[in-house]
Structure 1
């Protein structure tokens, strides 16, 4: 079979943003720009989590679906990446689907050091796309030929590895004879055999399928089948057929569970590095001037035995703790309407997490909980309340556990997620909290009696943005920071512009090293690699290509150390390599075996790595230090 085309440089159609716009979530992922909906192809590969999603990068409404792409090393700090699947480059309707890591190369698609990342998309049949460069670019398998077709309308393939049968398994939603999923198996991800069909009227689009141990006991593992709305049933899967004795599905989240609502099309990650099952869903009700939609915060799923049977639980992943920077706590308070209203009256919070436990034995309060986004007049943007008579949390059924009710609340600028009794209740909502600085109050609230507060902790959360590079390929740990000039992300890498010197520095430092990268002067005078720099680039070494002087130059403030005369052409990429050992600095051009500069200078012994452009515009890519 032949492959389809792949873009030399995938599209990166985003305007710069600081991610601080009103209503933009600070720890909930949203696309840098454009429309997003369903999570797609969630997977982990070599320390990086890949979050693909349904995307229209050119507008704020649903249209002409692409696959957007973001990556993270911890499921918390996400970095926007170039488009993964693009109409006109990749064939077919690029609608929702799944992704896997073919670590054993069962497909035979590997053509280098990286394992194939294989994703599945399409409508009315399934097409295969794959990456052999760790997700940077994708090709169509066999020009997008449908590897699975079926009668009726179909879409939303989900693929996973089934270890007992040593086969890949695919589920595809279709409306053949009513809602349901077809199950298929494959030894190689490319040739598929029909296994069975599971039909159910409730089962509408975006199916997900995963195994979970009951109460943490892996000897009692069950399979969970879900649909887009978060309805699910629990049963058994023998490698061919899924069976369940449930007459009706349950709901794992009690937000607004429809397309465009606050919880839809949830999907779990494949190829997790641990034994967790982690889910993200589409929250469609959030938007701003340049984006529409966001993802729910990653939640770990479980199965727990209750008085009503086995139920799915959802809880925020532990990595959320990385964002905590200040915690306030209270213990052992008897709350009445008056004392509750006073307890938190000095709190002014932007983005935060609440952990609260209440003892409801002997409680006389009709309702209790929290008011959020409290304004100067006392009005609130949202309420999180437990009803002691109905035994519901924000309308979701929740029985006390040992006479107690716990609440865990994630409060972001346009997102609210609530978890009751360790995830037995999950409520995901989009909100539009007032962005004014005087609208950040939080209050305990009690109606009609009293209740005992066992414990309360409020963790203020730092923003999760700004940790990665969307288009600059590099291997330096830590963040990069603008020191001077204008620096933006474009499809070809990092673009720097300035009328004088502009510096972009990494937090990473070095003393003796090899430092190299591709530099391309678009227009103007010079483009360069900077090293052994201080945080303000007032002291540094810089090796540049200078088109105006026609040289490669090694310099530091106050001294041109050495030059090598050669014509430098704007628009042409040059590979610069610096080898620094003590006071000796060698500069290589375009992978030549011998250095073009071999000089000695002992002004600076160590410092930061960075990029530099002088009096013009330049592009930088493939930056490496060793």
Structure 2
């Protein structure tokens, strides 16, 4: 998109009259064509640079573009000027993640001079059925849409890393008036693809188009609304978790939205008066704008990220919100979108402090968190208002001497508001959840009924990262937990490995941790590599932190429904070799939590040997001819473990 931002940190002085370079090219481009990559070394430890909020390694960032999942990786594209700290000729930046939390910078995805058009905001999909006919190799086509005053198509045949221009950049859709920001979606009920595009032809609104092949589009209908301005999104979500009652949500760049029904060609809102995802002032360059939901997710979640524009450093401007899961619930008789942080945030927790229930007055509250650091933390708290006397309570963040603090979050029980935003008590209680980063603060109230994203430049210098529980009157603290959060930066991965393929999360939560890759799950969690083997030696260091088992997986298929696994099992106190449907062999061992075990598997044909701690003789020597070859991977079952130094060699 092209617009003027109203904040001091993001002044778009050069916005007027800037357009992309028009070049007719069918080339996908190579890294050498993209002079912005690799980016120069940057300091991710700058005072106000988010430690768990994504920002580009360098340059300007704004709208989220075409977020999607493919082949074990989450792809985040975004509006980007890699040449400066202000908005200028737009590129599509690109980052990837295996866990939606730790992001790795990739080369530019759409580049002026390589791809035609102005390359402003848009969406994208994975063409898993190849209805477009664009498949060229093993990967499914990834098709993205961009352009103003007409929609252009670009597609990738290498898993979303480089893109070709479709049909020389011909505009496949040209709405009336000014238009931009196409978003494509799949309609399961009608079995067709849909596209929503903002335009001002006849006033603000969204034009809908349909297609069977993602390339040829037919105008279907228009939804007009004065409030609906640029960056639309459109997604289906069950109401109150009922898959038989699916509703559609239409929103614009400011996060205003309506809920209604889609019949395959026309959207009808239940109530034309919009609500808002995020309860802050939203405009281009504010602390919340231009969010999009991920496409092709491997589960039933609706996950969204948005642009936060009020933060900058020496080589970067802007960041994105922490990913939230959206759900649709009936609140006061009206379908309402609620947002909460994705579960993967648990993988960032490095330590946790908890406090039990107690009554609080000003003095007791002020002393409770003495000595607790608040540099990068997640706070979960529940309060109960008792008696008839109103109370004000909450958290002061970045506290210093003489009563100084960087920001406060306060609930007022008399008005039942959080920071002035209505948030009714539920059975006399209110639940707060805060994500505190160096330049970002995200606030969630009553399990997502309230969602506020703010840019707050906390002073993260040593000695200025304290916090305080603030109370006026008396209130009962039901429970409180403060989780210290680690950084998402620091290299591609903390996992040392000689495997050359791509690692991807098949299940569970996998994150970088001190000493290797950490996996957490309530059941089986698999972290797989695209590298396969038949006969090999496969070894690693395995440390079970809690729960049942941690393991090496091998000869696996793509979704780990078929594999061999050799684990350290703390519940059965054994080393076990198994595959789905059969425990092949065990060896008794008094397993200790926190101890690092070195597991080595030697597989030659049907013979599988498992060695422990570099012993000369195997502890398991078994024969099973069910699976002859497959991918390497890691496994955690019903617990948390760290695995490192993963090596594969000749048998």
**TM-score, normalisation: structure 2:** 0.73
Q: Where does residue 265 of structure 1 map in the other structure?
A: 290
For residues 209-608 of structure 1, what are the structure 2 equivalents within 5 Å?
209-362=234-387, 364-447=389-472, 449-468=473-492, 474-475=500-501
Q: 1:43 to 1:365 in 2, by over 3 A?
A: same
How far residue 356 of structure 1 moved from its aligned partner, in angstroms, is 0.2
- CA distance in structure 2 between the aligned counterparts of 1:460 and 1:363, rounded to whole angstroms: 35
Q: Where does residue 6 of structure 1 map in the other structure?
A: 28
How far residue 392 of structure 1 moved from its aligned partner, in angstroms, is 1.3
- CA distance in structure 2 between the aligned counterparts of 1:9 and 1:474, rounded to whole angstroms: 19
How far residue 229 of structure 1 moved from its aligned partner, in angstroms, is 0.6
- CA distance in structure 2 between the aligned counterparts of 1:167 and 1:219, rounded to whole angstroms: 19
Q: Of the candidates 201, 209, 216, which is equivalent to residue 184 of structure 1?
A: 209
How far residue 395 of structure 1 moved from its aligned partner, in angstroms, is 2.1
Q: Where does residue 164 of structure 1 map in the other structure?
A: 189
How far residue 435 of structure 1 moved from its aligned partner, in angstroms, is 2.3
Judge conservation of contact 1:363–1:452 (CA < 8 Å) in 2: no
Say which SS state the counterpart of residue 258 (structure 1) adopts: coil
Q: What are the superposed Cα offsets for residues 379-410 of structure 1, whole Å, 9 maximum, x if unpaired? A: 11011111112211122221111211000000
Q: What are the superposed Cα offsets for residues 173-192 of structure 1, whole Å, 9 maximum, x if unpaired? A: 00001100000000111100
Q: What are the superposed Cα offsets for residues 442-499 of structure 1, whole Å, 9 maximum, x if unpaired? A: 110012x111110000000011123527xx9942759999xxxxxxxxxxxxxxxxxx
Answering whether residue 64 of structure 2 is matched by residue 39 of structure 1, we say: yes
Say which SS state the counterpart of residue 478 (structure 2) adopts: strand
How far residue 377 of structure 1 moved from its aligned partner, in angstroms, is 3.0
Say which SS state the counterpart of residue 165 (structure 1) adopts: coil
- CA distance in structure 1 between the aligned counterparts of 2:499 and 2:218, rounded to whole angstroms: 40
Q: Where does residue 198 of structure 2 map in the other structure?
A: 173
Answering whether residue 102 of structure 2 is matched by residue 77 of structure 1, we say: yes
- CA distance in structure 2 between the aligned counterparts of 1:321 and 1:182, rounded to whole angstroms: 40
Q: What are the superposed Cα offsets for residues 551-576 of structure 1, whole Å, 9 maximum, x if unpaired? A: xxxxxxxxxxxxxxxxxxxxxxxxxx
Aligned length: 497
Q: Where does residue 25 of structure 1 map in the other structure?
A: 50
Q: Where does residue 179 of structure 2 map in the other structure?
A: 154
Q: Where does residue 556 of structure 1 map in the other structure?
A: none
Q: What are the superposed Cα offsets for residues 599-620 of structure 1, whole Å, 9 maximum, x if unpaired? A: xxxxxxxxxxxxxxxxxxxxxx
- CA distance in structure 2 between the aligned counterparts of 1:113 and 1:326, rounded to whole angstroms: 42
Judge conservation of contact 1:256–1:429 (CA < 8 Å) in 2: no
Judge conservation of contact 2:302–2:326 (CA < 8 Å) in 1: yes
- CA distance in structure 2 between the aligned counterparts of 1:64 and 1:226, rounded to whole angstroms: 26
How far residue 348 of structure 1 moved from its aligned partner, in angstroms, is 2.1
Say which SS state the counterpart of residue 340 (structure 1) adopts: helix
Q: Where does residue 50 of structure 1 map in the other structure?
A: 75
- CA distance in structure 1 between the aligned counterparts of 2:306 and 2:326, rounded to whole angstroms: 13
Say which SS state the counterpart of residue 84 (structure 1) adopts: coil
How far residue 625 of structure 1 moved from its aligned partner, in angstroms, is 8.0
Q: Where does residue 121 of structure 1 map in the other structure?
A: 146
Structure 2: runs of 5 or more not aligned? 1-23, 504-509, 514-530, 541-600, 603-646
Say which SS state the counterpart of residue 458 (structure 2) adopts: coil
Q: What are the superposed Cα offsets for residues 146-193 of structure 1, whole Å, 9 maximum, x if unpaired? A: 010021000000101111111110000000011000000001111000
Q: What are the superposed Cα offsets for residues 60-82 of structure 1, whole Å, 9 maximum, x if unpaired? A: 00000000000001101110000
Judge conservation of contact 1:396–1:427 (CA < 8 Å) in 2: no
- CA distance in structure 2 between the aligned counterparts of 1:81 and 1:14, rounded to whole angstroms: 9
How far residue 336 of structure 1 moved from its aligned partner, in angstroms, is 1.1
Judge conservation of contact 2:374–2:436 (CA < 8 Å) in 1: no
Judge conservation of contact 1:360–1:451 (CA < 8 Å) in 2: yes
Say which SS state the counterpart of residue 313 (structure 1) adopts: strand
Q: What are the superposed Cα offsets for residues 313-348 of structure 1, whole Å, 9 maximum, x if unpaired? A: 000000000011111111211111111111112212
Q: 1:625 to 1:27 in 2, by over 3 A?
A: farther
Q: What are the superposed Cα offsets for residues 574-605 of structure 1, whole Å, 9 maximum, x if unpaired? A: xxxxxxx99xxxxxxxxxxxxxxxxxxxxxxx
For the pair shown, the structure with the greater C-alpha radius of gyration is 1
Judge conservation of contact 2:56–2:105 (CA < 8 Å) in 1: yes
- CA distance in structure 1 between the aligned counterparts of 2:163 and 2:387, rounded to whole angstroms: 61
Q: What are the superposed Cα offsets for residues 196-251 of structure 1, whole Å, 9 maximum, x if unpaired? A: 00000000000001111111111121111111111111111111100013131011
Mean CA deviation greater in 206-215 or 304-313: 304-313
Judge conservation of contact 1:13–1:57 (CA < 8 Å) in 2: no
- CA distance in structure 1 between the aligned counterparts of 2:375 and 2:191, rounded to whole angstroms: 49
How far residue 17 of structure 1 moved from its aligned partner, in angstroms, is 2.4
Judge conservation of contact 1:364–1:451 (CA < 8 Å) in 2: no
- CA distance in structure 2 between the aligned counterparts of 1:363 and 1:120, rounded to whole angstroms: 57
Judge conservation of contact 2:25–2:115 (CA < 8 Å) in 1: no
- CA distance in structure 1 between the aligned counterparts of 2:160 and 2:444, rounded to whole angstroms: 33
Q: 1:257 to 1:474 in 2, by over 3 A?
A: farther
RMSD: 2.9
Q: What are the superposed Cα offsets for residues 264-289 of structure 1, whole Å, 9 maximum, x if unpaired? A: 00100000000000000001111100
- CA distance in structure 2 between the aligned counterparts of 1:246 and 1:82, rounded to whole angstroms: 43
Judge conservation of contact 1:78–1:467 (CA < 8 Å) in 2: no
